[in-house]
Amino acid sequence: MSEYLECVIVEHNPAKKTIDRAVIWLHGLGASGHDFEPVVPQLGLSDDMAVRFIFPHAPNRPVTINGGMVMPAWYDILEMSLERKVDIAQIEQSSQKIHDLISREIERGVAPEHIVIAGFSQGGAVAYHAALGYPERLAGLMTLSTYLATNDNISYSAANKDMPVLIEHGTHDPVVPVILGEQAQQLLSAKGYNVQYNTYPMAHQVCMPQIQNIGKWLNTVLA
């Protein structure tokens, strides 16, 4: 197994029980694992729940659309067209890194059906690939302000056909247009996935009503 990604770890465990739930949450382009760290206390998670949040840091790499500047990125974006020309091989490599983190949680005693994969923006594209192709049943997939970049490259896993999927997007997003969230929702719904799709009057960000809704969804899928 390759080296694990460096991660920020936040534990929600008011009852001081053995951790038996996990959320692996990927940040967006140019950000870090600290990006969503402050969100955890705002989710309103059940006090009975013992959850480890894993926020991995993306590796630094040149990003074509940013003039080749080196920054934290899960993959290279080659064109900012609506279709988003991206480096598929790098998405697959990043997805494998997330599978490695899932394996580490399983070794720590968290069953795969109690693990949620989540991602924002660029991290969401990797979350789609990692979760939809994972060979064992997961607790759920949560994608925020993102797009399904690798539909033609995912080996869709039969084990996760009934996995809950939460897709959330801002209606005023200038970075990832809301139509891309709608397309992912339509595509997965057509494949028979259990998709919940929500929009909020916001840009490329998260907002408090959304955070509260995410917390309710996590309380349900991790119950």
Q: Which residue numbers are catalytic?
A: 121, 173, 204
CA atoms within 13 A on the CB side of 17: 16
Name the one residue in this structure whose structure tokens are 């923006």.
Answer: 121
**Strand bridging mode 77-79 / 85-86:** antiparallel
Q: What value, to the nearest 5°, has the Cα angle with vertex 155 and ends 181 and 54?
A: 65
Name the one residue in this structure whose structure tokens are 């005693």.
Answer: 109
Structure tokens at 142: 């949560």
Q: Is 176 left (phi over 0), alpha (psi -120 to 50) or beta?
A: beta
Residue 6 identity = E
Name the one residue in this structure whose structure tokens are 């091989």.
Answer: 89
Sheet holding 140-144, edge to edge: 7-12, 51-56, 21-26, 115-120, 140-144, 164-170, 194-200
What is the distance, to the nearest Å, from the Cα of residue 61 to the centroid of all Cα atoms in its chain? 20
CA distance 137 to 117: 12
